[in-house]
Amino acid sequence: MLIIGELINTSRKVINEAVDSKDEDYIKNVALEQVKAGADYIDINCGTKVHNEVETMEWLVDTVQNAVQVPLCIDSPNPKVLEAGLALCKYGQPMINSITGEKNRVNNILPLVVKYKAKVIALCMDDAGMPEKAEDRLRVAKNLHAKLTEAGVSENDIYFDPLIKPISSVDSAGLEVLEAIKIIKQKYPNVHLVCGISNVSYGLPNRKILNRLFTVQTMTMGMDSYILDPMDKGMMGIIYASRALLGQDPYCTDYINAYRKGLYEEIN
């Protein structure tokens, strides 16, 4: 299980303000708190800084690494920004968020995956657009798998994101993702699957319930990495509980530790 902490993103108002005022302490604290809460990777996204995304990325990477010694997930569709961030990564194996099956993205981002020996999140979309059916996702995954492995990327470094869409607009949107996880995992047992869950509940009440249940459902099908807010105790508790139930937590050690850390106070 890989938890990627999503909180350092300039589309969030607090982060945007901290970046504008060069508030290092605030950014460092957000990084530290996420790691304490269980994040394995810290995602850094400053895509809203359209005029100085490169400089902002460099500053954020340096600042975060002054606070925590964990690998980073450099998050941008812009290859220049990715390279600027990757070049500064000091701890562990960096991750790129993200490549897609779109020709431009493959041409520009695949060389960076190879050069920095990075893990890579591969979105299951291509020039034909956003996927609807499970088969659409598998088709893109096949193409990307071929291109990535041909370039020497290890299967263990590939994280397919099936792209979660809201069930409020298409009834079967959740089901198609569950099916996609199953068939991708069947074809490529050694790759990983990752996603951001919250899209699934867009437009509906009680989003937390839907997000947590969908996390459990996707885990059951074989998803093993999530981009999320690790400070969300309820969600982290659900993940530890689900891992234990799926036989991924020897002696239920992590589950019991989660209990001791108070992750289930809300339920009791």
Q: Binding residues for another protein, per CB under 8 A?
A: 11, 47-48, 50, 76-78, 125, 129-130, 165-169, 202-205
Considering beta carbons, is residue 3 or 125 the nearer one to another protein?
125
CB 117 to another protein: min, Å:
25
Considering beta carbons, is residue 14 or 204 the nearer one to another protein?
204
CB 44 to another protein: min, Å:
14
Considering beta carbons, is residue 189 or 205 the nearer one to another protein?
205
CB 124 to another protein: min, Å:
12
Considering beta carbons, is residue 177 or 238 the nearer one to another protein?
177
CB 165 to another protein: min, Å:
7
CB 203 to another protein: min, Å:
3
Rg of the chain, C-alpha, whole Å: 18
Considering beta carbons, is residue 152 or 203 the nearer one to another protein?
203
